[in-house]
């Protein structure tokens, strides 16, 4: 059985327990933390060195804490290629040999991509992760903008997930190499590794929403729900076996 199928089964079980994602009003702190992590790690994948607290300040106050993100036009940009506008230049082949389409075809390709994304509403949950992985890779192949395609692609990916009733998928900066390698595999027609990365990320964030609903007065929760970017689920299992689970982290 493919690992994406296993993750899909777990995701389906947890979604049934939750009865749908809570609204921002019902789980404001959880939503906020997830979006802060998404912004921090997505920009870090592209080389940003801001700490999470600095990203939080930037988003909350509309200002950057040093070091700042410099905003300047692309060296080849025309007046019609401002941020948010499609590119009017061809770009060099990506590492691995994949070549983006010529710029005149970008609007039509993006339109086709949108139609394919809308069809996800009818996708089977067991194959959804790989379907989303294929569409995410396709967006990056089209590379519709001169700059910011990776960050935009991951943000759009998460918009699609949330509209389908799933939590956002955070690609952590520590997984950058594995994520880029999976993207290259998807470019070559195998979305499985990327689908697994996304499925695991969806499951991780789904636990964050499920925990308050299933913990109960004893605050007993599945150990994977207690994992963080600093402490893996495996590390927590070892700590529990040795009787060294940190106080306040009661897992089942």
**How far apart, in Å, are the Cα atoms of 181 and each of 6, 75, 92, 95, 239?**
22, 28, 19, 10, 32
CATH node for 3-69+103-214: 1.10.3290.10
Two tokens, residue 54: 């600095």
Give the pLDDT of residue 20.
Answer: 75
Give the pLDDT of residue 68.
Answer: 40
- Check residue 233 and report its DSSP letter: H
Q: Are 199 and 4 in contact (CB under 8 A)?
A: yes
Question: Whole-model pTM?
Answer: 0.78
- Tens of pLDDT along the chain (252 residues)? 467 888 888 888 877 777 778 877 778 888 888 889 999 999 899 888 888 888 888 888 766 544 543 455 567 778 888 778 899 989 888 877 788 999 999 999 999 999 999 999 888 888 899 999 999 999 999 999 988 899 999 999 999 999 998 999 999 999 999 999 999 999 999 999 999 999 999 988 888 876 665 544 444 455 565 566 556 666 656 655 565 555 444 444
Question: Mind spelling out the 3-state secondary structure of 61-130?
Answer: HCCCCCCCCCCCCCCCCCCCCCCCCCCCCCCCCCCCCCCCCCHHHHHHHHHHHHHHHHHHHHCCHHHHHH
- The residue length of the chain stands at 252
Q: Are 36 and 58 in contact (CB under 8 A)?
A: no
The CATH 1.10.3290.10 portion of the chain extends over: 3-69+103-214
Q: Are 186 and 134 in contact (CB under 8 A)?
A: yes
Two tokens, residue 117: 């994304």
**Would you tell me how many other CB atoms lie within 10 Å of the CB of residue 16?**
9
Give the pLDDT of residue 65.
Answer: 45
pLDDT digits (tens, 9 = 90+) for 179-203: 999 999 999 999 999 999 999 999 8
Give the pLDDT of residue 219.
Answer: 46
């Amino acid at each position: 059985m493919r690992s994406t199928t296993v993750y899909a089964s777990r995701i389906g079980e947890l979604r049934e327990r939750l009865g749908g994602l809570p609204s921002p009003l019902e789980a404001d702190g959880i939503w906020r933390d997830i979006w802060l992590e998404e912004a921090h790690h997505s920009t870090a994948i592209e080389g940003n060195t801001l700490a999470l607290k600095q990203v939080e300040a930037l988003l909350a106050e509309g200002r950057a804490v040093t070091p700042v993100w410099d905003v300047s036009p692309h060296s080849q940009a025309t007046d019609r290629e401002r941020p948010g506008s499609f590119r009017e230049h061809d770009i060099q082949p990506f590492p691995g040999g994949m070549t983006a389409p010529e710029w005149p075809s970008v609007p039509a390709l993006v339109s086709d991509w949108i139609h394919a994304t809308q069809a996800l509403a009818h996708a089977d949950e067991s194959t959804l992760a790989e379907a989303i992985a294929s569409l995410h890779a396709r967006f990056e192949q089209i590379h519709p903008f001169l700059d910011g395609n990776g960050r935009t692609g991951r943000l759009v990916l998460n918009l699609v997930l949330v509209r389908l009733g799933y939590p956002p998928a955070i690609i952590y900066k520590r997984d950058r190499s594995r994520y880029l390698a999976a993207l290259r595999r998807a470019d070559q027609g195998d979305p499985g590794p990327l689908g697994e990365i996304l499925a695991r990320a969806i499951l991780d964030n789904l636990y964050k929403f499920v925990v308050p609903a299933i913990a109960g007065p004893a605050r007993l929760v599945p150990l994977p729900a207690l994992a963080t970017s600093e402490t893996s689920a495996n590390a927590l299992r070892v700590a529990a076996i040795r009787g060294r689970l940190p106080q306040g982290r009661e897992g089942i």
